[in-house]
Structure 1
């Protein structure tokens, strides 16, 4: 097991350096700061893009409080509390960092938008390792993963190269849904991870369609504003999951559950098709008057 884990880390590191050598650097596109909705209300520049970050702060604070309120989330593994604490700190900080960035969008302020998001992303990866792979290794991975996220931001800022940050941001987008499906969970309500991933994917689509959505809605709301609201649903679903879940008596992956359900569905379908209805003939005797 130790040798296999070591090989996985070696392969991952080698792949990262190969990717860095064979791909060109990705500078920050300055058009990224040119959002569709630049309206100002009550003296606040880019008002809707600023205030749409408030949900992040609210859910971040709520989650942080519930982490420490009489163990409301019933966290039972070593390192879970630390991982979820960093996650909710990152979420709450997004409320400030993203608002600060949208007041005056540029590379310097963008750092404070991306940094808390990176903290949240890397914390989630550590939490998955704790819950579904190895409790001790997951706990030890929290700080290294956070440092990797911070270094990716610093690398972009000093070298104007987004490649490390892109890996830190998009690898969790792929890894988390895959792990949620393939790896047996310790707790119930594991499908909430997929709901969270779905809303994050929707948020990325809305971000890409910023101008298009702004025109479709007749300049009522932009895609980037909707992106903030959908992305805020990610911690909402994860908080609901934490509040509802219980420890599973038997660990079965979602993939196995789906396979069993599909097998039962097919069997029931075949049974229904092959069912024959038998009628019993009752002799009729005409009554005599």
Structure 2
């Protein structure tokens, strides 16, 4: 590991320690386990909140098969394959862990709901580092990031403090869209990252409005059930991206691409002055 990487990890650790010192502990609210929809069908407690996890199992297993069979991930670097394997394993495990939790919601079962999610979150960060920053650094970061996610769950369970887990969950929600927009991609079709981020944001909104949506729909479906379906679209969008993408011949960030498109639009419709720079939009070609 280079000195710069060591310094970066030390700075990150220092910032984390400072954050833990200056912020109060965040205990797990027991109201979290009180979901709006308690209905039972076919003898399954909280049925819709349980069975709505099934899409995670389907897309997770599909992703694992595609990672290691056929030509589907032919463009991926070796580190990316390891990262995507961890990601899809985490997605598939979400179905099991979340279903187990929703059968009888409590703190002990919530561990098995959150643990696979942290595997998926941290794997995505490592994949992004490989693609957008440096392959070797991203590959080396897979294990430390996974361990950081697992430790955040263990810390919460033993000390009833959600701060480390909150960082693991929400930091990717900020970092991934920013990196997707600002950093030049290695592959085409990188806008799928933003669709995935949007799906996760929608899932969090649905989760926060669980009871409201249950009332709006006249007790047909709750916000938490819809949250599972929206969150399951995250791996779906990313799988579509992997199916369609090719190597980007001229790496250009989404921000620059959008600025060029806006410049062309203004020049063609408003006859305003042109800018001093120009970029070439890369035409994407779907893989066969």
Specify if TM > 0.5. yes
State the match for 1:95 in structure 2. Answer: 95
Query: Alpha-carbon deviations, 1:185-209, whole Å to 9, x = none?
Result: 0001000000000010000000000
User: 8 Å contact 1:78–1:136 — kept in the other structure?
Assistant: no
Structure 1 vs Structure 2 CA RMSD: 1.5
Could you tell me how far 1:5 is from its partner in structure 2? 4.2
State the match for 2:74 in structure 1. Answer: 74
Output aligned runs, 1:135-284, within 5 Å.
135-271=135-271
Unaligned 5+ residue runs, structure 1?
Answer: 273-289
Whole-angstrom distance in 2 between the partners of 1:46 and 1:196? 27
TM-score (norm 1): 0.92
User: 8 Å contact 1:126–1:139 — kept in the other structure?
Assistant: yes
Unaligned 5+ residue runs, structure 2?
Answer: 273-288
Could you tell me how far 1:70 is from its partner in structure 2? 1.6
State the match for 2:57 in structure 1. Answer: 57
User: 8 Å contact 1:78–1:135 — kept in the other structure?
Assistant: no
Whole-angstrom distance in 2 between the partners of 1:86 and 1:75? 18
Could you tell me how far 1:12 is from its partner in structure 2? 1.9
Query: Alpha-carbon deviations, 1:198-244, whole Å to 9, x = none?
Result: 01000000000001000010000000000000000000000000001
State the match for 2:85 in structure 1. Answer: 85
Query: Alpha-carbon deviations, 1:92-141, whole Å to 9, x = none?
Result: 00010000000000000000000000000000000000001000010000
Whole-angstrom distance in 2 between the partners of 1:26 and 1:71? 46
**Aligned-partner SS, 1:79:** helix
Whole-angstrom distance in 1 between the partners of 2:189 and 2:113? 30
- After superposing on structure 2, the runs of 4+ consecutive aligned residues of structure 1 that deviate more than 3 Å are 2-8
The structure with the larger Rg is: 1
TM-score (norm 2): 0.92
Query: Alpha-carbon deviations, 1:67-102, whole Å to 9, x = none?
Result: 111231223323011000000000000010000000
